[in-house]
Amino acid sequence: MPRPRKDDLFAPLRRQAANVLAALAHEIQKREAELRALVQQAEGWRAALGGGGRSIRLAARRGRRAGGGAAVRASGRSGSRIDWDEVLASVPARFGVDDVLKHPGARAKGRAQIYPALTRWEAAKKVRRIGKGKYERTTGTSPSRAARPKPSPRRRKRRTAAPAKRRGAPKRGKAAAQNGRVSWDDVLKSLPAKFGAGDVLKNPAAAAKGSAQIYPAIGRWVAAKRVKKIAKGQYQKA
């Protein structure tokens, strides 16, 4: 009696694998059809806006095996690099994912890349988690004490004597409190068409606040589309 071939032992497994591959190929084709429909809708809205925005095209990618997947590739900002420090500077002191999505560059990347960015910020101790989906910035709000230079002994003596002088001159203290506020709109008007953080520091009011508050101000200008980033550390008025 002839012995059965060993290959026949794997025949059920091969049939099962073929069925799974066929199901995957069918699902891939279904998803590709859905993606094409979404792209057509996006192009229709783009045409309604008079051609504004960026066009989206669906590029089929053939895999090494049959039934390979498809990739949607945006020809716009989703493929460009983004300065996540700038994104962090644009969000409020306490924020969530929706606040990050208000930044145009982060919104183009989508939620899939925002969560890894939050993890990197948390690992770098730039933010801390204060609740479910809620974070708080630990940098960019005020200069840290560690970054301030230690005053000399002579300067310490002057500081101890300063309160007595301030009691005798209350008007000067009131004027100093008024000068503490900065009109960032006026600062932006004083800048050249193309500028960097160094140009902002040339403004006396901005220089008094320090770089810790300049970068958040630049982030707010970018988020409000009053300026746009043209290179690393370089911006242009809109």
Predicted model pTM: 0.30
Note the pLDDT tens digit of each residue in 174-192. Answer: 444 345 688 888 998 999 9
Task: Cite the beta strand spans of the chain per DSSP E.
Answer: 56-59, 71-74, 94-96, 127-131, 134-137, 194-196, 227-231, 234-237
**CA nearest neighbour of 90 among 228, 234, 230:** 228
Q: Is 43 helix (H, G, I), strand (E, B) or coil?
A: helix
What total number of domains does the chain contain? 3
Whole domain around residue 88: which residue ranges?
79-137
In terms of domains, do 86 and 151 share one?
Answer: no
Note the pLDDT tens digit of each residue in 30-62. Answer: 899 889 888 888 887 877 776 655 556 554 444
The sign one gets for the Cα dihedral 222, 227, 232, 233 is negative
Task: Please compute Rg for the chain using Cα positions.
Answer: 29
Mean pLDDT by groups of 10 residues along the chain of 238 residues: 61 84 90 88 78 54 43 47 91 93 90 90 92 85 44 57 48 45 88 89 85 86 89 87
Q: What is the CATH number of the domain that holds 90?
A: 1.10.10
Q: Is residue 192 part of a domain?
A: yes
Q: Is residue 41 part of a domain?
A: yes
Q: Is residue 15 part of a domain?
A: no
Q: Is residue 3 part of a domain?
A: no
Q: Is residue 6 part of a domain?
A: no
In terms of domains, do 51 and 131 share one?
Answer: no
In terms of domains, do 70 and 86 share one?
Answer: no
Asked if 48 and 60 touch (Cβ cutoff 8 Å), the reply is no
Asked if 144 and 126 touch (Cβ cutoff 8 Å), the reply is no
Look at strands 127-131 and 71-74 and give their pairing. Answer: unpaired
Contacts of 2 (CB under 8 A, 6+ apart): none
Q: Is residue 173 part of a domain?
A: no
The two structure tokens encoding residue 116: 């890894």
